[in-house]
Structure formats: C-alpha cells, structure tokens
A = this chain, B = another copy of it.
C-alpha cells in the first residue's frame, strides 16, 4: 500500500510527525535558517537564496506554512514570511523533555 496509518496514532504523535516531516528537507531547513539570519520578516528574496525554481520554493513555503512553522502576511503584491515562534517552542519543549528523560537512564 503506502498509506500511512494515521488513525492508529495519537493526535499528538501525528502532529509531531507532521512538523518533523515539514523540516525533513534541506531546502526547508535552509528557508528556516535564512528567516532566522535576516532576523525579520522577508518579502521575496527566498527564491534568490535557494538553488530552486520559484514554483518549487513556493511549494516548500506552503508546506512550512501548513505545518505551522512559518507565517505569511500579505504585504501589497508580495508576501512577508517569518518564523512562527510557537511551533518552534513546541519542538523545543518536546526535545528538551526527551533529553531530560533520557539522560537519567542507563542504556546500551
């Protein structure tokens, strides 16, 4: 088949997987890092920053937006993108919890 059996997992697990999946491509990591670097909203230069065609970048931005990782505000005829803080806080909390749990156990 190939259809992932989303129903069998908790909503939280599916949500975390969706977010992680959205970050699971180097172009999308590069977009996030670029947004961080310029440290503000940017309005169009993402296409110039990446070695990808405009429709491809647009698609990646859409996926990041759907996963809640970035926000996009319409600003005239261009769109202003920036990082959506709360999703990254969710990620940060998730992984810091894992690290805290794991370090207190002995393993292989």
Contacts and interface: CB of A to CB of B under 8 A. Distances in A.
Interface of A: 4-6, 8-10, 13-14, 16-18, 20-30, 32-33, 36, 39-41, 50-52, 71-73, 80, 82-83, 85, 88-89, 91-92, 95-96, 98-99, 101-103, 105-108
Contact of A99 (B18, B27, B71, B85): B85
A26 B51 contact: no
B8 A29 contact: no
Secondary structure at the A interface, as helix, strand, loop or mixed, is helix
Given A5-B52, A36-B101, 5 more contacts: A13-B26, A16-B26, A39-B105, A80-B108, A83-B107
> Which of A10, A33, A71, A95 has the most chain B CB within a 10 Å cutoff?
A95
Contacts of A41: 107-108
Given A20-B21, A41-B108, A107-B83, A29 B9 contact: yes
Contacts of A52: 5
